[in-house]
Amino acid sequence: MKKNYDEAHASSFIKGITRLTGIAESKLKKYAAENNLFNVLEHPNTIDPNKQQLEKIHVLNEFISIYRLLKLQENENKLVLDSSKVAGEYFASLLGGIKDREKFMAAFLDTGNNIIETRIFSEGSIGEAAVYPRMILKAALDCDCTSILLAHNHPGGSRIPSIQDRDITERLISIFAPLQISVLDHIIVANSQYHSMAEKEGMPQPSRDVSYDVIPLDNNKGLGEDKADFHADISDFDESDLDEFNLIEPDDQEDEDEWEL
Amino acid sequence: MMKQESAIKQKDYERASRHLEKLFEVDSDITEQINRGLQDYGANGFFRNLETFGFSEDVFEKLKAVRMVLFGMGEEAVPDLQKLEKPGGSAKP
């Protein structure tokens, strides 16, 4: 497996994890010899930790997500989400460490794509979360935004949007289109990676049927997860594997990912 | 607007401190000390200046362990890896 880190980083990482969790250095080194070391944070069960060690890894993961978010906020006086890349990194830092539940969030932006507010609209056990379009509509009107970014996580590990993800996106686009509020993107986060619907397959067009009914989130059966083991590492797939699911087009439009309002 | 942004950031600093409290299993006064350090120095600056806060040895070692993980992940939290290691330094997990 290709490794993108050097010995100094690996050694530092292993020592830090050992000191914080009590997981033996030898166990981590053994794992690192054949795998990408950093997968132990994404898939801690692969090194068979005890319950306490597993809990510590989860907490560490959540801390790392917030640390990245704070760094992002500190680097920018105002956080401007003006491209799918920045939006993807932003939501990955908020949702990347969550493995035990689904969270649906929305960021409301002003005309300059500055964040007015980011809110959680649904948070529940896997398969039990539901999104209430009325609540998103009320929040959008309250803060007088001009555009919205949607995001949620797939605890199962697949970044590939399900058919239901596109349905949710289309329904919210259809609700906001008559109000001149654009839904710019829907970011799907799995592990620390993200998938931008706008960048990869394009956002759905608004439909004439506008419905405010509650939308259940049930993404455990993302298209990719029919083929991938629940604990499989997405990094084990290359783009050609993902293309096989017919939802992702080759990412050859790096310069075109900036949104135009 | 600025007030709102600063409140959001403050909430995130508090969340970060609470996660460290859980990870280290320490009292809330330590959490508050970490929270103040994070707010004063920023997330990155906090870990670069760990030595200046006067934490107890146990908390200091645990914070250094977090810094080592961050450095390992390429977060550039540590300017000089040599500073990480001093003989005998180890935190109880």
Q: Determine the Cα–Cα distance for residues A18 and A32; give it in Å rounded to an integer.
A: 14
Instruction: Please enumerate in sequence order all residues whose Cβ is within 8 A of that of A104, keeping only pairs 6 or more positions apart, or say none.
Output: A120, A121, A122, A123, A129, A131, A150, A151, A152, A217
Q: Which residue has the higher pLDDT, A3 or B73?
A: B73
Amino acid A57 reads I
Q: Give contacts of B65 with chain A, Cβ < 8 Å.
A: 15-16, 19-20
Partner-chain contact B71 A74, CB within 8 Å: no
Task: Say whether pLDDT at A185 is over 50.
Answer: yes
Q: Determine the Cα–Cα distance for residues A49 and A206; give it in Å rounded to an integer.
A: 47
Q: Give contacts of B68 with chain A, Cβ < 8 Å.
A: 12-13, 15-16, 19
**Closest by Cα among A210, A106, A221, A206 to A161:** A221
Q: Residue A104, SS3?
A: strand
Partner-chain contact A117 B23, CB within 8 Å: no
Q: Determine the Cα–Cα distance for residues A121 and A6; give it in Å rounded to an integer.
A: 40
Ramachandran bin of B42, using left for φ above 0, alpha for ψ from -120 to 50, beta for the remaining angles: left
Highest mean pLDDT among A114-123, A127-136, A193-202, B78-87: A193-202
What ipTM was predicted for this assembly?
Answer: 0.83
Q: Band of the pLDDT at A238, cuts 50, 70, 90?
A: very low
CA dihedral in degrees (A78, A79, A81, A87; nearest 10)? 180
Q: Which residue has the higher pLDDT, A128 or A81?
A: A81
Domain boundaries of chain B, sorted by first residue: 2-84
Task: Say whether pLDDT at B46 is over 80.
Answer: yes
How much is the pLDDT for B13? 92
Q: Determine the Cα–Cα distance for residues A182 and A19; give it in Å rounded to an integer.
A: 47
Q: Band of the pLDDT at A192, cuts 50, 70, 90?
A: confident
Residue with tokens 């990155």: B44
Chain B residue with the nearest C-alpha to that of A23: B93
Partner-chain contact B61 A22, CB within 8 Å: no
Calculate mean pLDDT across residues B33-39: 92
| Entry pTM | 0.54
How much is the pLDDT for A8? 83
Partner-chain contact A9 B72, CB within 8 Å: yes
Alpha-carbon gap: A209 to the closest alpha carbon of chain B (Å): 36
Alpha-carbon gap: B33 to the closest alpha carbon of chain A (Å): 17
Q: How many other CB atoms are found less than 10 A from the CB of residue B64?
A: 24
